[in-house]
């Protein structure tokens, strides 16, 4: 169920408005040409949606209007369970970001009180106007491209927080449009996780 | 498709650009392969899953005595039991419950749950567990009051809450971790390229 939306169709402004709040001491997003863009391309940005008390399990989703870059762990994307509190020490959030690198262009990571840990990387064929989605249900984080699961992993560090938008520096251009956040339905949690088959691991050394 | 699992030391400072990561995360990422890594909360160990790692890098990790490479998720541990248990316990990962006829997948799944319990402890802002003389064999009754409450709070924070009513003063840290993990949902757990 959709709980909040923002199409960013309003006059250019350095502030997204009262529906949005900076997570911790990250940089901000602003409205530009009816889209949202990072205020600074050389600093990480995270803003959480403040329109309501978000359920612990939720999703955040947006159209990637423009993306660039090939730097590892850089990208534009969305966030979940972001701290609703601004200020140093509150940089706590899960996020996924995407860029145009040929491999490992999708990064799931967490900040816990500003301590950064990369959780997973994979290769996805992102193009402009794709919809990127991050779902969190229990301890499972699921990334979707246009509704199809492309990456999933698990982490238990963050219990609750808000859906939001994020940017990981550095890129030359990045923007999002038509953001929405909502609840994660039961079918998604139990019925669509990918299964890896045909495994033939290399021998180890125990 | 070939997937591999490793336990590795934690490196990094936590600052983006030098984030907390497994010892060989940079080398694994440089291969352009899908992978995932999980921290053991504030403890100095990472669990890593890779897909199609090169033989060269795999062999490097295997040869590194600070790491532990899982040979094949779906074979029994067999005569590798002692080595595996000793290595895990050296990293404060409870392993006395591991037996030879379990598969590595079964063991890694439980270890991954242990890691998630430790992650939650850290995420709730609690100090590292294995400090100030606390070990896997420390009993609940001998823990400082704050640590006792931390463990109860962590158990209660999961959905559904994990039951701690059977924990007594004589219950050890290793028993608490295993007891909490036994209550985990039986649903598959996705860890990057592998399903546990």
pLDDT tens digit string along A25-53? 999 999 999 999 999 999 999 999 999 99
Question: What's the token pair of residue B86?
Answer: 């000793």
Inter-chain residue contact B71 with A206, CB threshold 8 Å = yes
Q: Which residues of B touch A104 (CB under 8 A)?
A: 29, 32-34
Inter-chain residue contact B123 with A158, CB threshold 8 Å = yes
A205, closest residue in chain B (CA to CA): B62
Inter-chain residue contact A117 with B19, CB threshold 8 Å = yes
Nearest to B24 by CA among B56, B14, B40: B56
pLDDT at B148 over 80: yes
Which of A56-60, A66-70, A98-102, B115-119 has the lowest average pLDDT?
A: A66-70
DSSP E strand boundaries for A25-145: 29-32, 35-38, 45-49, 58-66, 75-82, 93-98, 106-112, 115-122, 131-137, 140-145
Mutate to test the interface with B, among A73, A95, A201 (most CBs of B within 10 A): A201
CB–CB contacts below 8 A, A to B:
149
Domain spans of chain A, in order of start: 2-179
Question: What's the token pair of residue B25?
Answer: 């995360």
Chain B nearest C-alpha distance from A167 (Å): 13
Query: At which residue do the structure tokens 């978000």 appear?
Result: A54
Pick the CATH number of A2-179 from 1.10.510.10, 3.40.140.10, 1.10.10.10, 2.60.120.560: 2.60.120.560
Inter-chain residue contact A119 with B195, CB threshold 8 Å = no
CA distances from A92 to A65, A81, A181, B68, B140 (A): 26, 8, 18, 30, 30
pLDDT at A200 over 50: no
pLDDT at A193 over 80: no
Signed CA dihedral, A82, A86, A92, A93: sign only: positive
Signed CA dihedral, A50, A53, A56, A57: sign only: negative
What residues make up the domain containing B42? Answer: 3-195
pLDDT: which is higher, A43 or A203: A43
User: Torsion-angle region of residue A17: left (phi > 0), alpha (psi -120 to 50) or beta?
Assistant: left
Contact criterion met (CB below 8 Å) for A79 and A93: yes
pLDDT in tens, A105-151: 999 999 999 999 999 999 999 999 999 999 999 999 999 999 999 99
B32, closest residue in chain A (CA to CA): A103
pLDDT reported for residue A201: 37
How many angstroms separate the CA atoms of B164 and B155, rounded?
7
Helices (H), A37-178: none
User: Which secondary structure element, helix H or strand E, spans residue A183, and what is its range?
Assistant: strand A175-183
B194-195 and B21-22 strand pairing: unpaired
Query: At which residue do the structure tokens 């996020």 appear?
Result: A95
CB neighbourhood size of B164 (10 A): 19
As for how many domains chain B has, the answer is: 1
Q: Which residues of B touch A102 (CB under 8 A)?
A: 32
How many angstroms separate the CA atoms of A98 and A38, rounded?
14
State the greatest distance between any 2 C-alpha atoms of chain A, in Å, as a whole number: 62
């Amino acid at each position: 169920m959709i709980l909040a939306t923002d199409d960013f169709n309003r006059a250019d402004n350095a502030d997204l408005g009262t529906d949005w709040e900076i997570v911790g001491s990250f940089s901000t997003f602003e409205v530009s040409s009816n889209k949202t863009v990072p205020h600074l391309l050389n600093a990480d940005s995270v803003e959480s949606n403040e329109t309501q008390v978000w359920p612990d399990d939720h999703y955040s989703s947006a159209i990637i209007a423009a993306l660039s870059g090939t730097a590892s762990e850089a990208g534009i994307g969305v966030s979940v369970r972001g701290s609703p509190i601004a200020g140093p020490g509150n940089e706590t959030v899960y996020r996924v970001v995407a860029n145009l690198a040929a491999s490992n262009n999708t990064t799931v990571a967490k900040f816990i009180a500003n301590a950064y840990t990369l959780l997973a990387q994979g290769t996805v064929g992102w193009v402009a106007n794709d919809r990127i989605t991050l779902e969190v249900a229990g301890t499972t984080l699921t990334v979707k491209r246009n509704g199809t699961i492309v990456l999933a992993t698990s982490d238990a560090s963050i219990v609750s927080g808000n859906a939001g938008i994020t940017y990981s520096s550095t890129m030359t251009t990045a923007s999002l449009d038509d953001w929405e956040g909502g609840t994660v339905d039961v079918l998604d949690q139990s019925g669509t996780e990918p299964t890896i088959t045909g495994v033939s691991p290399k021998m180890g050394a125990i | 498709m070939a997937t591999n699992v490793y336990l590795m030391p934690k490196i990094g400072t936590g600052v983006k650009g030098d984030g907390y990561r497994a010892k060989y995360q940079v080398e694994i990422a440089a291969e352009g392969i899908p992978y995932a890594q999980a921290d053991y909360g504030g403890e100095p160990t990472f669990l890593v899953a890779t897909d199609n790692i090169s033989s060269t890098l795999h062999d490097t990790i295997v040869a590194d005595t600070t790491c532990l490479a899982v040979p094949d998720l779906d074979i029994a541990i067999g005569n590798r039991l002692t080595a595996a248990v000793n290595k895990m316990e050296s990293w404060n990962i409870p392993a006395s419950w591991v037996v030879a006829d379990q598969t590595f997948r079964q063991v890694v799944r439980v270890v991954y749950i242990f890691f998630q319990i430790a992650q939650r402890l850290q995420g709730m802002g609690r100090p590292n567990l294995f400090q100030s003389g606390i070990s896997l064999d420390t009993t609940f009754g001998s823990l400082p009051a704050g640590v006792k409450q931390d463990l109860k709070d962590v158990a209660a924070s999961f959905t559904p809450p994990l039951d701690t009513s059977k924990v007594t003063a004589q219950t050890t840290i290793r028993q608490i971790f295993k007891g909490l993990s036994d209550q985990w949902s039986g649903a598959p757990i996705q860890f990057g390229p592998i399903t546990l």
